[in-house]
Amino acid sequence: MKQKQLIFCMGLSAIALFTSCNEREIDLNPNGGSSEQGTLILNLNASTDFDQTRALDESTYRNTQNYDVRVINASNENVILECKASQLSANLPKKVDIGSYRVEASYGTEKDASRNEFFMYGEAVTTVKSKEEKSITVDCTPTCGRVSVVFDSDMSTYYTDYNVTFGGTKKLGAKTISWAKNDTEPWYIALDKTAETISYTINLTTKDEYLPDGSNTNSGTASGTFTLERNKAHKLTITPNYIPTTDGGMKLTITIDDSTNDKEITWEVPVTWL
Residue 43's DSSP bridge partners are: 7, 137
Instruction: Yes or no: say if 273 and 219 are a contact pair by the CB < 8 Å rule.
Output: yes
The partner residues of 239 in beta bridges, in order of sequence, read 253
* 1: in domain: no
At 199-221, the pLDDT tens digits run 999 998 888 887 766 667 788 88
Overall average pLDDT of the 121-147 stretch: 92
Report which of residues 230 and 43 the model is more confident about.
Answer: 230
Q: What is the pLDDT of residue 91?
A: 56
Q: 142, 165, 186: which is the final residue of a domain?
A: 142
* Number of domains present in the structure of the chain: 2
Give residue-wise pLDDT tens across range 44-91: 899 888 877 777 887 788 889 889 999 999 999 999 888 888 877 665
Task: Tell me the whole-structure pTM to 2 decimals.
Answer: 0.78
Single out the residue of 22, 38, 229 nearest to residue 143, CA to CA.
229
Higher-scoring residue by pLDDT: 254, 6? 254
Domain membership of residue 23 (yes or no) is yes
Residue with the larger pLDDT of the pair 177 and 255: 177
Pairing of strands 133-142, 37-46: parallel
Judgement on whether residues 70 and 161 belong to the same structural domain of the protein = no
39 φ/ψ angles, rounded to the nearest 5 degrees: -125, 155
69 in any annotated domain: yes
Same domain, 151 and 137: no
Q: Are residues 31 and 136 in the same domain?
A: yes
- Top pLDDT among 89 and 192 is at 192
Q: What percent of the chain has pLDDT over 70?
A: 71
Look up the domain containing 255 and give its range.
Answer: 144-270
Q: Determine how β-strand 37-46 pairs with β-strand 6-10.
A: antiparallel
Regarding whether 263 and 188 lie in a shared domain, the answer is yes
Residue 259: band (very low, low, confident or very high) from pLDDT cuts 50, 70, 90: low
The amino acid present at 3, given as its one-letter code, is: Q
Contacts 24+ apart (CB under 8 A), 215-219: 215/273, 215/274, 216/274, 217/273, 218/160, 218/273, 219/273
| Residue ending a domain, choose from 112, 142, 172 | 142
26 and 108 assigned to the same domain: yes
2-11, 45-54, 120-129: segment of lowest average pLDDT: 2-11
Q: Per-residue pLDDT for 273 more than 60?
A: no
